[in-house]
Amino acid sequence: MSDLFEDPIPGQNAPEFTVSEISGAVKRVVEGEFSHVRVRGEVGRVSRPRSGHVYLDLKDDRCVLSAVIWKGNADRLRTPPEEGMEVIATGKLTTFGGQSKYQMVIEDIAPAGAGALMVMLEKRRAALAAEGLFDADRKRPLPYLPEVIGVVTSPSGAVIRDILHRLRDRFPRRVLIWPVAVQGERCAAEVAAGIRGFNALPKDGPIPRPDLLIVARGGGSIEDLWGFNEEIVVRAAAESRIPLISAVGHETDTTLIDHAADRRAPTPTAAAEIAVPVRMELLSWLDGQGARLGRCSSHAVIQRRQRLRDLSRALPRPETLVAQATQRLDHCGERLPAALRMATGRKRLAFQQVAAHLRPRVLSDRTDRCHQVLARAAIRLAGALDRPLQRDRLRLSRLPVSPARLTDRIQVARQRLGDCGSRLTQGLARAAREAEADIRRGKERLEKLLQRLDQATDARLTGGRERLDALERLRQTLGYKETLRRGYAVVRGDSGVVTSRAAAEQATGLEIEFHDGRLALGGKGPRKTKGKTPDQGSLF
């Protein structure tokens, strides 16, 4: 019936599909045509639901392609996709009939070239730096000598061996290894867990908490090291309260953990060198310090002993300090009893002298004398009162002149005249007597003087004569005549005394004088010169 009512439109004889049929048909076509494709594009929105699958968009400037990475693949990815990343995704296209969508199932995803990866890394570094995770003031100083060192690395391989070897050389320490995968998709999470795990260890728990962490990995490609660029690792390193040394890759490799670590070591071996000092060096340093210490202390004592010796030498001996005083004391001590005796003796003597006078009579004598003086004064006092009175009375009685009184006075005067006359004659007689005596004495003196004059004249004459005789005798002795007596002779030539043979030869005649006369030889004697007597000089 239904067919009759239906009035098919021409051209509508194409088979009908159900929605599922057409979806399935499209799916077959798409999957058949695009079973393996590589798509290059920028990663857009990425979501990671709990299922573990990763949903993302790949896009370019005009179109968007939805994509999914199934859980199994997502865990294996070396570089997990991030928004903004330029990637090359490998996989197949499929459809999702439930939402009338097609999408790409990605099996592998890789950054589109190293340059792109570096750009992304730089972007991430800048973002984390902007958060302050790499700031210099976040860096903690490393302990000088850590007791326990925690190493986050692969438990097998050269890296941990290098570290342990170098630690053994320098300063063997207790080392805890936190085993982690150092590459692959588990790397970042495990390394971050290792850093956090060490930090979470209780201080005095069964597992000792390290004082220093080393996060180490050997060299590799940028993709191999990628886990150490992950934000989770960088944050764990930045948050670590235990000082951390990063040693990832070779010297030229730089990962983001290096920026967040407190120190970056170029290699794992270098990390061990940074971690501990050299024990032997410390021991020798310590020996040196010990020696210096000993030297200092002995030096201090020696120096002070020397100083003490010098000072004690300069110090005078105690005996000499007191010697003089002692001597003075002895001297005074000897003189003391005698001085005492003498002093008491003197005092006693003085006392006795004073005491001798101090008899009752002294006092009574004085009182007697005083009595006498007093009595005399009393008598004189009475007289002194009477006398002026009598004198006044007498003068009063004499006031009228009487003849009897005049004759009395003439008598007195005559008597005095007579006295004077007799005294005058007596005086004349006495003067005459004295003059005679004077004359007599003068005569006697004159005679004495005359006598002395004669004696003096005689004495002078006799003295002169004697002197004359003496001088004559002397003259004769000194003259040559006396010499002639002793056998000498004086020879005279023509012109005086001849004193040399030559003169004698030339003389026409010679005359020899002996003491008793002269004898002429040849010619005529030199008479003319006879008058000049040669002096005694010719004799020599």
Partner 1 sequence: MTEKPVAEMSFEEAMAELERVVGQLERGDVALEQSIQLYERGAALKSHCEDRLKKAEEKVEAIRLAEGAPVGTTPADGL
* Site residues, partner 1 (CB under 8 A): 143-145, 155, 160-161, 164, 167-168, 171-179, 193, 197, 201, 206-207, 279, 282-283, 286, 289-290, 292-293, 296-297, 299-301, 303-304
Q: Tokens for 399, please give them.
A: 């006031």
Instruction: Identify which of residues 123 and 292 has a Cβ nearer to partner 1 in the complex.
Output: 292
Tell me the closest approach of the beta carbon of residue 201 to partner 1, in angstroms.
7
Edge-to-edge order in the sheet of strand 510-514: 496-497, 490-493, 510-514, 517-521
Instruction: Identify which of residues 174 and 369 has a Cβ nearer to partner 1 in the complex.
Output: 174
Tell me the closest approach of the beta carbon of residue 289 to partner 1, in angstroms.
5
Q: Tokens for 46, please give them.
A: 């990425």
The residue behind tokens 């940074």 is 274
Tell me the closest approach of the beta carbon of residue 293 to partner 1, in angstroms.
4
Instruction: Identify which of residues 288 and 464 has a Cβ nearer to partner 1 in the complex.
Output: 288
Alpha helices in 132-230 (DSSP H): 158-170, 187-200
Instruction: Identify which of residues 120 and 216 has a Cβ nearer to partner 1 in the complex.
Output: 216
How far apart CA 66 and CA 45 sit, in angstroms, is 10
Tell me the closest approach of the beta carbon of residue 290 to partner 1, in angstroms.
5
Tell me the closest approach of the beta carbon of residue 267 to partner 1, in angstroms.
17
Q: Tokens for 406, please give them.
A: 């005049």
Q: Tokens for 104, please give them.
A: 């790409």
Instruction: Identify which of residues 100 and 284 has a Cβ nearer to partner 1 in the complex.
Output: 284
Q: Of 475, 491, 477, whose CA–CA distance to 526 is shortest? A: 491
How far apart CA 266 and CA 256 sit, in angstroms, is 14
Instruction: Identify which of residues 32 and 288 has a Cβ nearer to partner 1 in the complex.
Output: 288
Tell me the closest approach of the beta carbon of residue 151 to partner 1, in angstroms.
9
Instruction: Identify which of residues 45 and 168 has a Cβ nearer to partner 1 in the complex.
Output: 168
What Å distances lie between residue 272 and 212, 248, 276, 469, CA to CA? 11, 13, 7, 149
Instruction: Identify which of residues 300 and 329 has a Cβ nearer to partner 1 in the complex.
Output: 300
Tell me the closest approach of the beta carbon of residue 286 to partner 1, in angstroms.
5
Instruction: Identify which of residues 193 and 507 has a Cβ nearer to partner 1 in the complex.
Output: 193
**Residues paired with 421 in a beta bridge:** none
Tell me the closest approach of the beta carbon of residue 339 to partner 1, in angstroms.
54
What Å distances lie between residue 409 and 379, 412, 415, 416, CA to CA? 35, 5, 10, 11
Q: Are strands 212-217 and 244-248 parallel, antiparallel or unpaired?
A: parallel
Instruction: Identify which of residues 300 and 471 has a Cβ nearer to partner 1 in the complex.
Output: 300
Tell me the closest approach of the beta carbon of residue 87 to partner 1, in angstroms.
30
Tell me the closest approach of the beta carbon of residue 176 to partner 1, in angstroms.
6
Instruction: Identify which of residues 14 and 311 has a Cβ nearer to partner 1 in the complex.
Output: 311
**Residues paired with 521 in a beta bridge:** 510
Instruction: Identify which of residues 117 and 195 has a Cβ nearer to partner 1 in the complex.
Output: 195
Tell me the closest approach of the beta carbon of residue 77 to partner 1, in angstroms.
21
How far apart CA 38 and CA 112 sit, in angstroms, is 11
Question: Could you give phi then psi for residue 273, rounded to 5 degrees?
Answer: -65, -40
How far apart CA 207 and CA 194 sit, in angstroms, is 14
Angle separating helix axes 114-131 and 231-239, nearest 10 degrees: 30
| Per-residue exposure over 53-89, b if at least 16 CB sit within 10 Å of its own CB, e if not | ebebbbeeeeeebbbbbeeebbeebbbbbeeebbbbb
Tell me the closest approach of the beta carbon of residue 75 to partner 1, in angstroms.
16
How far apart CA 462 and CA 211 sit, in angstroms, is 153
| Per-residue exposure over 163-182, b if at least 16 CB sit within 10 Å of its own CB, e if not | bbebbeebbebebbbbebeb
How far apart CA 67 and CA 106 sit, in angstroms, is 7
How far apart CA 233 and CA 191 sit, in angstroms, is 6
